Amino acid sequence: MTVVMRNADQVRPEPTAQETMRDGLRHEASQEPDPVHTGPVKKETQIIAIYGKGGIGKSFTLANLSYMMAQQGKKVLLIGCDPKSDTTSLLFGGKACPTIIETSTRKKLAGEQVAIGDVCFKRDGVYAMELGGPEVGRGCGGRGIIHGFETLEKLGFHDWGFDFVLLDFLGDVVCGGFGLPIARDMCQKVIVVGSNDLQSLYVANNVCSAVEYFRKLGGNVGVAGMVINKDDGTGEAQAFTEAVGIPVLAAIPADDDIRRKSANYEIIGTPASPWGALFAELAQNVADAPPQHPTPLSQDGLLGLFKGDAVGRGVTLVPATMEDMCGRAIVEKPSLEVVYDTV
């Protein structure tokens, strides 16, 4: 090991690579995050983050919503913030959109800068891009989101002139990167997409909890409401919105025509579509809905929205014993501790 002479009385070993890395991590962990913005919202652009359980229909809803908004004369930017990179697939008829993460990596290796035309594409007035995510097992999805937004800022994100910017976020994941728009006031309001099932409402409730948590820290983001997708009429999602205090922005029925067209990458949010009026109303509600202060439910309150036979209530929790754990009778052994009589 190399030694360094400090003075005549002191000899200290040079720090190892592991110690240097440890000290660097400690220093990084000790840094306080940027304070949450507490001032008034000044942007004319409405930046809206949409959250929901994976597979609940966020991308379907957003592709059709953004298309309808563009048909109504609005300038719309749709940003996919899900590592699956499926937000824009319906909009572009099933074609994959090059992601910001993979494009920036490729450009960096080639010594080139990312240009807006490398990552942003348009169809019928809708501008769209995908942040992307790391390869499976090779990185943090949340960190990828942060890197993607850093790249957007370098491309001039804050100077772009859109009426609406719609951010499609995965709601199952609760790490910091996916909560970025709420934590850093990057959006003015949040919309949740859910259905009449426990898992999607569990995610919606978590999003409401996150919004309220950051509001207590001085944030300004609120929940504008819920889009009920695949609505089968059982009413649990409607009951959830009433319980937490947010409106229903639209209820998209569980209809086979919608399912088939979505599976075939067909946009139904057009004025000529049989479903055009539904998405036109959704577009208006999304634009007008103010951010609300939701009251998240407890776990028992959430379960209370469902019938007992649907969630397994009535089951008694029976504590396990050591005999159960070891598979044999347990003999109590006397303690060897010496106990002295008190005087």
- 20: number of Cβ within 10 Å: 11
CB-CB contact of 167 with 81 (8 Å): yes
CA atoms within 13 A on the CB side of 305: 25
Residues 6+ apart with CB under 8 A from 325: none
Of the listed 74, 107, 118, 172, which one is catalytic? Answer: 172
DSSP string, 222-272: EEEEEEEEEE-S--HHHHHHHHHT--EEEEEE--HHHHHHHHTT----STT
Of the listed 75, 84, 107, 122, which one is catalytic? Answer: 84
Please say if 53 is a catalytic residue.
Answer: yes
User: What's the CA gap between 338 and 43, in Å, rounded?
Assistant: 73
Of the listed 58, 189, 230, 261, which one is catalytic? Answer: 58
| Tokens found for residue 322 | 């050591």
DSSP string, 165-195: EEEEEESS--STTTTHHHHTT-SSEEEEEE-
Please say if 122 is a catalytic residue.
Answer: no
Task: Give the single-character DSSP code of 262.
Answer: H
Of the listed 53, 189, 230, 261, which one is catalytic? Answer: 53
Which positions are annotated as active-site residues?
A: 53, 58, 84, 172
